[in-house]
Structure 1
Amino acid sequence: MQLSVGIDSTWSLRAMIGLKITAIQADLRVFNLSCPTCKSELQSLCATGLVPFLDDGELRIHDSLAITEYLNELSAGGLYPTERGKRALCRSLCAEMHSGFTALRQAMPFTTAAVSQQSTFSPAQAAEIGRVKTLFCCAEGPFYLGDKPTAVDAFYAVLACRLNHYGVRLQGKAGEYQQQLLGWEFLHEALAQLTLAAACPHGHTLA
């Protein structure tokens, strides 16, 4: 099994953390998405030309949410709670992260490079930060749905990291969950894997 991911790709990080939660072994192939040659190679491997995508023999799966569902099945439910209501909530929150928070994505492009700290926000950005606070306040702790990490934590750890990188540090119960995610070893390991692979094999300089 091989997981293809991209440098500074939040979608890739979610799939990488999902692998770590389930302890499923997969080779990692990292693409520099700012390199034309890497993008051409990626296009030849995956019809969408996007990361992440999972190659499991004759089966190829693209999109982080679909990969999460596949990893959950391979691990006999390792990414979702066993209780039906919590399982539905977990899927709902992952879908919200997957398709939402567009104002924050645009204002705070994900990167591990140094960025300017943000203290003023548009109404749309402020509303999304408010939604994050509401969601994070509901964490049952130490992970969102209790003692074990689930797909929710894989998806929202990257958002917690993005906000922190731009200087948005939540307070109170929401801040406690944000800090829990920021200290999570699986997030650190996934970020380190991309950092170590950041050098482009084709000599393209990262912006």
Structure 2
Amino acid sequence: MSRMKLYIGNKNYSSWSFRPWIGLRQAKIDFEEVQLWFDFPAGNPEIKALSPSGKLPLLEDGDLLIPESLAILDHVARKFPQSGLWPADPLWHSRAMAMACEMAAGFHALRGTCHMNIRRVPSKIEVADAVLSDVARIETLWARSLAESGGPFLCGDFSIADAMFAPVVNRLDVYAFDVADTTRGYMDRMKALAAWQEWETASRAETAVIAEEEV
């Protein structure tokens, strides 16, 4: 069986690459990492030649090419059900899927204003009410899930829901949002993961600087 390849962008900036990468790494699923850089004036032609959508991340599994973070995570979770990427309990599986989909489709104000940047020195910026509304919804969602699952992660054990929200943890951290203790505790647990630490170390070693835009 050929080894899966996960094509990702710059680790410091690519929120969508971070999601499947931390999911697969945390679940101890073997894959080959291939990094293609974003910092080309007209975009990286290698990405456009490889990816059906012209974007990253992209998973290559044999003859199958899967773009889009949540689709990648779902494919891997079904291929390796023992990984626990989806909760075994059907109700929590559905809740994890709902949270993952809400993250994929929502929170545009936060994502559009506060871009993922691992290397950013934490500091506040002035944000619109829509951004604060997104943050409030995220805090409410996390607090309820942590309370009802018992933690330490959103559905109890680490799952795709946590992988999908990993870049949000970075945003709340480096833009120094005032958050509740429950939120901060969850953020600290995410940042303490070995997979997070590996990604952060690699991000800080990168030297490319990209104008602020969601990648």
Q: Does the pair score TM above 0.5? A: yes
1:11 paired residue number: 16
Q: Any gaps of 5 or more consecutive residues in structure 1?
A: 200-204
Structure 1 residue 63, shift from structure 2 partner: 0.3
CA RMSD of aligned residues (A): 1.9
Decide which of 87, 108, 119 is 2:114's aligned counterpart. Answer: 108
Measured against aligned partners, the alpha-carbon deviations of 1:29-74 in whole angstroms (never above 9, x if no partner) come to: 1122122486101111112110100011111100001001111011
1:161 paired residue number: 170
SS of the residue corresponding to residue 157 of structure 1 reads: helix
Q: What is the distance in 2 between the residues matched to 1:5 and 1:75?
A: 21
Q: What is the distance in 1 between the residues matched to 2:167 and 2:47?
A: 23
2:209 paired residue number: 206
- One-letter amino acid matched to 2:88: T
Decide which of 137, 148, 153 is 1:143's aligned counterpart. Answer: 153
TM-score, normalised with respect to structure 2:
0.85
Decide which of 62, 66, 69 is 1:61's aligned counterpart. Answer: 66
1:192 and 2:204 are equivalent in the alignment: no
Q: Any gaps of 5 or more consecutive residues in structure 2?
A: 211-215
Checking the alignment, whether the CA contact within 8 Å between 1:136 and 1:178 is kept in structure 2 is no
SS of the residue corresponding to residue 124 of structure 1 reads: helix
Decide which of 28, 35, 42 is 1:30's aligned counterpart. Answer: 35
**More divergent stretch after superposition (33-42 vs 16-25):** 33-42
Q: What is the distance in 1 between the residues matched to 2:203 and 2:173?
A: 19
Change (3 A) 1:112 1:22: closer
Checking the alignment, whether the CA contact within 8 Å between 2:122 and 2:173 is kept in structure 1 is no
Q: What is the distance in 1 between the residues matched to 2:174 and 2:88?
A: 33
Structure 1 residue 173, shift from structure 2 partner: 1.8
Checking the alignment, whether the CA contact within 8 Å between 1:39 and 1:49 is kept in structure 2 is no
SS of the residue corresponding to residue 29 of structure 1 reads: strand
- One-letter amino acid matched to 1:59: L
1:172 and 2:181 are equivalent in the alignment: yes
**More divergent stretch after superposition (39-48 vs 62-71):** 39-48
Decide which of 123, 135, 143 is 2:129's aligned counterpart. Answer: 123
SS of the residue corresponding to residue 33 of structure 2 reads: strand
Decide which of 128, 132, 139 is 1:133's aligned counterpart. Answer: 139
Q: How many residues align?
A: 200
**More divergent stretch after superposition (173-182 vs 40-49):** 173-182
Checking the alignment, whether the CA contact within 8 Å between 1:11 and 1:51 is kept in structure 2 is yes
Q: Which has the higher contact order (CA 8 A, sep 6+)?
A: 2
1:41 and 2:51 are equivalent in the alignment: no
2:213 paired residue number: none
Q: What is the distance in 2 between the residues matched to 1:85 and 1:154?
A: 19
Q: What is the distance in 2 between the residues matched to 1:23 and 1:135?
A: 27
Structure 1 residue 162, shift from structure 2 partner: 1.4
Checking the alignment, whether the CA contact within 8 Å between 1:5 and 1:12 is kept in structure 2 is yes
Change (3 A) 1:164 1:104: same
